[in-house]
Structures are given as structure tokens and as C-alpha cells.
Amino acid sequence: MNPAEIALHPFERPASLAELCRTLSTRAVRKEKTVLLAGGTDWIVERRLAPLESPDDLPLVLDVSRLPEMRAIHVAKEHAAIGAAATFLEIKSHPVLSRRVPVLTAMAREVGAVQIQARGTLGGNLATASPAADGAAALMALDADVVLASVTGERRVPLTQFFTGYRATRRAENEAIVRVEFALPRTGAHQMWRKVGTRAAQAISKVAFAAVVELEHGRGVRAGFGMASVAPVTASLPTVRALALAPNLASVSEQELEAATRRDITPIDDLRSTAAYRAHVAVALVKCFFRSLRTAIGS
């Protein structure tokens, strides 16, 4: 999309979250198309590839990048809230998140080149609902909730329930993603982020894997996983999670891990990779993480 094409779109910058919600509500009733824009790293590319539209049928673009309610990062005691318009650069540079949630900041360091990190946002990652989104995988491992706002107030949706299908979510037309919230992992929790692609940080992942497990007396007491590019939506790996919470973690076999991983994913062949390769990498990453858990409990 060139600047001239961008200029064709009607454009507004709401002064507050309340104004944004009123605009979304009015336009939803009228069934008018609206786009919320923060970094634009996905949307502008999509517009360049999309078929030409009539100037009379272009969506209204609402710039939410400056709304303070959607920009803030709050970390208090054992809880974190990250605004939907906070950038990956801000996330990876946050001192407390870097210390307590390395799975999230490691993801932010590899989500793209620094130019993408300076513009891209978690909210955009969630709204576009790409199954290859790195941010969604890391947040899923943290059992994050998505907070949505409308004229009637806020509602929370667990991220594991937020995606309803390929590039589809539970966000209604009259709602905006305001922030994500999650409980901070305990100090000493085992966290892992791995992105497998053709070029580190620069390419869409062939497979991306995030894991967070808290151990107590040699047993997993909290576990979360997220895997990108292996299903129509970000995969939460529920069967693998059950193994991480098994009464005797040391007894979980490599064969069980492989079977659980393959049960939880449905990879496909595409331009970036093959289903067979993705399945192989997914299994290898899960096994690698569980080896680190077994080492931690001394088995």
C-alpha cells in the first residue's frame, strides 16, 4: 500500500477509550466496517495484498496508538497488565518483565526486526488471530486473559478460548482489545521460548514454542504452553499440559510426550514448511523442555 492509498481511508483518532467505544458501538449498529490501528505492521501488508476496493466501501481507520488506557504496562506484586497498544520494544525493555517473564521478553526480542518491534503490538497480534503469531503463543503459556471494552463495560476472555477459528476471535464488532492480564510466574519457574524459522527474528516462524511450568516438591503445580504455526489457531497443547502436571513428572516417557504433542497439533504444508517438519520440530521442542524439567527435579 502506498501513501496515496492510505490517504483514501477515512481516519479518526479517538481522544479517549470512552470515545473509541462509542464510535465502535455506533458503527456496529449500522454494520459499518471499522479497523483499529496501532502499529499497522499486519494491516498495511494485508491491504497491499488485498483486492482493490471501492473508495465508498473503505473501512474507517481508528488510530488507538496514543490512548493511555491501551499503552500502559503495569506490574504489581504478582500480577501484570499490558496494554494492547504497548509495543514489543517496550515489552522487551521492561526491567520487571525481563526478570520475571523471560518467555515474554525473549519472544519480543525475536518478533521481527527492530523496526517491527518499535511499531508492532500485542493487541494487533491477538486481533489478527494469525496462527503464526509469536505474541499469542507466549501469552498462552502465561494463561493470559484478554480484556475487551465496549460501551457496556469490560469483559475478560481466557486466551485459550479467545480464538474461535482461523483468523477469528470472540471480539465483537463493538469491542476493542484493551489489555492482556496474567499472574506472574513464581520466582524460579521454568520458562522456555524457541522460535524456529529460516532467519532468526526476521521471518514468520515455522514453529514457535512457549512454555511455563512451576515446580513444587518435584511436581508441576502450574503449567502453560503455547505453540504457533502448527494448527488453525495458536495451540495450547492441553495433553502436553496434563503430562506436565502429572503426579510423577519423572516417569513421563519420551513416547508419551511425542504422542501428546502429535495429538495437540494439526500442522499443514505451506510455503514456509511442511506438516512433517513442523510435527518433528514440535515434538523435539516439547521433549527438550521436559528434559530441563527432569534435570531440575534431579531425575
Identify whether residues 130 and 144 lie together within a single domain: yes
- The pLDDT profile of the chain, 299 residues, written as one tens digit per residue, is 444 466 678 899 999 999 999 999 999 999 999 999 998 887 777 766 555 566 667 899 999 999 999 999 999 989 999 999 999 999 999 999 999 999 999 999 999 889 999 999 999 999 999 999 999 999 999 999 999 999 999 999 999 999 999 999 999 999 999 999 999 999 999 999 999 988 665 678 999 999 999 999 989 999 999 999 999 999 999 999 999 999 999 999 999 999 999 999 999 999 889 999 999 999 999 999 999 999 998 86
**3-state SS record for 82-108:** EECCCEHHHHHCCHHHHHHCHHHHHHH
Give the pLDDT confidence score for residue 113 in this predicted structure.
87
Q: Cα–Cα distance between 299 and 292 in angstroms, integer?
A: 10
Q: Are 241 and 260 in contact (CB under 8 A)?
A: no
Give the pLDDT confidence score for residue 40 in this predicted structure.
85
Identify whether residues 85 and 176 lie together within a single domain: yes
66: left (phi over 0), alpha (psi -120 to 50) or beta: alpha
How many CB atoms neighbour CB 4 within 10 A? Answer: 7
Number of domains in the chain: 3
Give the pLDDT confidence score for residue 92 in this predicted structure.
97
Identify whether residues 163 and 81 lie together within a single domain: yes
Identify whether residues 58 and 113 lie together within a single domain: no
Q: Which domain holds residue 21?
A: 3-63
Identify whether residues 272 and 198 lie together within a single domain: yes
Identify whether residues 142 and 174 lie together within a single domain: yes
Which of 150, 183, 216 is the endpoint of a domain? 183
Q: Cα–Cα distance between 216 and 191 in angstroms, integer?
A: 15
pTM over 0.85: yes
Q: Cα–Cα distance between 89 and 38 in angstroms, integer?
A: 14
Identify whether residues 161 and 209 lie together within a single domain: no
Which of 157, 183, 209 is the endpoint of a domain? 183
Identify whether residues 136 and 215 lie together within a single domain: no
Q: Are 212 and 103 in contact (CB under 8 A)?
A: yes
Give the pLDDT confidence score for residue 7 in this predicted structure.
65
The SS3 of residue 181 is strand
Q: Are 88 and 135 in contact (CB under 8 A)?
A: yes
Assign residue 74 the CATH number of its domain. Answer: 3.30.465.10
Q: Where are the alpha helices (DSSP H) in the chain?
A: 3-8, 17-29, 43-49, 68-71, 88-92, 95-100, 102-110, 114-119, 122-128, 134-141, 159-162, 238-244, 254-264, 275-296
Which of 43, 63, 83 is the endpoint of a domain? 63
The SS3 of residue 157 is strand
